């Protein structure tokens, strides 16, 4: 394993943050395949280590969104109430799977993330306007699914949380993304701790990953302001689909 080379770890973090910043997608979908392919981590180690790194970057993002008024704190708390419960079960479920099954599951998630990325501009804000108890129950249920996916896949969970908040609750994309980031700080800590106890975290590569993601996210988010979003989404969606198909072909050892 090449985890001792801090420059390689920073490079992986920069790539994850850069592409995530370009298209508004979490860095885990890039970071995990690179950790497996370059650092030769097991799939389980990549998922656990990714989730730890994303806690720090998620916190940075949540603060940024909050300062710009794009976080619904009450909604984030409701999402977190259930996600902190299911995230540990997602981590434990991932740990129980043979590596080839976890790879196939991750491949399916990448293809799902690719589809959501392409559909993002067509997700209409406020098709419904849930209020009161219906809104509360929907957020709690969304948190259940998002937490499990985050713990199992080593990602932030925004792919699951953002669409319901935009479509059903009338939030803007920015508000939904900021709210999901705040939620996943709490859920990510619980999931990361669970992965840590299960031995699925490689601590020595975390510093480089975190530094790289922060730098890459800033660069990608800045560049995204000047490049046509449609082409970026098509290219990155194709990359996710291609990677997902490769993972779906994982065979039992």
CB count within 10 Å of CB 52 equals: 24
From the list 197, 192, 194, 237, the residue with the least C-alpha distance to 59 is 192
Q: Please tell me the distance from the alpha carbon of residue 248 to that of residue 253, in angstroms, as a whole number.
A: 14
Secondary structure class of 118 (helix, strand, coil): helix
Distance CA 40, CA 20 (A): 22
| pLDDT at residue 224 in the model | 66
pLDDT of res. 118: 81
Spatial distance between the Cα atoms of 232 and 19, rounded to a whole number of angstroms: 9
Q: What is the pLDDT of residue 35?
A: 94
Per-residue pLDDT in tens (0 to 9) along the chain, 253 residues: 555 688 999 999 998 888 777 766 667 888 999 999 999 999 999 999 999 988 887 788 788 888 888 889 999 999 999 999 999 999 999 999 999 999 999 999 989 988 887 887 776 665 666 778 988 999 999 999 999 999 999 887 888 888 888 888 888 878 888 898 889 889 989 999 999 999 999 999 999 999 998 888 878 777 766 767 677 778 778 888 989 999 998 888 7
Q: What is the pTM of this model?
A: 0.85
Helix (H), strand (E), coil (C) string for 161-196? HHHHHHHHHCCCHHHHHHHHHHHHHHHHHHHHHHHH
118-155 burial, b at 16+ Cβ within 10 Å, e below that, comes to bebeeeeeeeeebeeeebeebbeebbbbbbbbbbbbbb
């Amino acid at each position: 394993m090449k985890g001792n080379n801090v420059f390689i770890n920073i490079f992986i973090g920069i790539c994850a943050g850069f592409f995530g910043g370009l298209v508004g997608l979490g860095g885990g979908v890039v970071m995990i395949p690179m950790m497996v392919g370059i650092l030769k981590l097991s799939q389980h180690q990549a998922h656990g280590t990714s989730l730890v790194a994303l806690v720090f970057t998620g916190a940075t993002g949540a603060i940024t969104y909050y300062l710009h008024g794009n976080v619904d704190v009450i909604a984030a708390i409701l999402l977190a109430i259930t996600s902190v419960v299911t995230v540990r079960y997602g981590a434990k479920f991932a740990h129980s799977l043979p590596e080839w099954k976890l790879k196939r599951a991750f491949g399916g998630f990448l293809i799902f993330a690719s589809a959501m990325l392409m559909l993002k501009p067509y997700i209409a804000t406020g098709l419904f306007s849930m209020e009161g108890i219906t809104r509360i129950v929907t957020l709690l249920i969304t948190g259940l699914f998002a937490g499990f996916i985050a713990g199992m896949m080593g990602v932030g969970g925004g792919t699951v949380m953002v669409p319901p908040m935009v479509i059903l609750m009338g939030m803007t994309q920015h508000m939904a993304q900021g709210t999901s980031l705040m939620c996943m700080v709490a859920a990510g800590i619980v999931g990361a701790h669970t992965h840590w106890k299960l031995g699925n975290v490689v601590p020595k590569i975390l510093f480089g990953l975190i530094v790289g993601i922060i730098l890459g996210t800033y660069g990608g988010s800045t560049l995204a302001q000047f490049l046509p979003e449609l082409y970026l989404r098509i290219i990155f969606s194709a990359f996710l689909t291609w990677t997902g198909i490769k993972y779906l072909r994982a065979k039992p050892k």
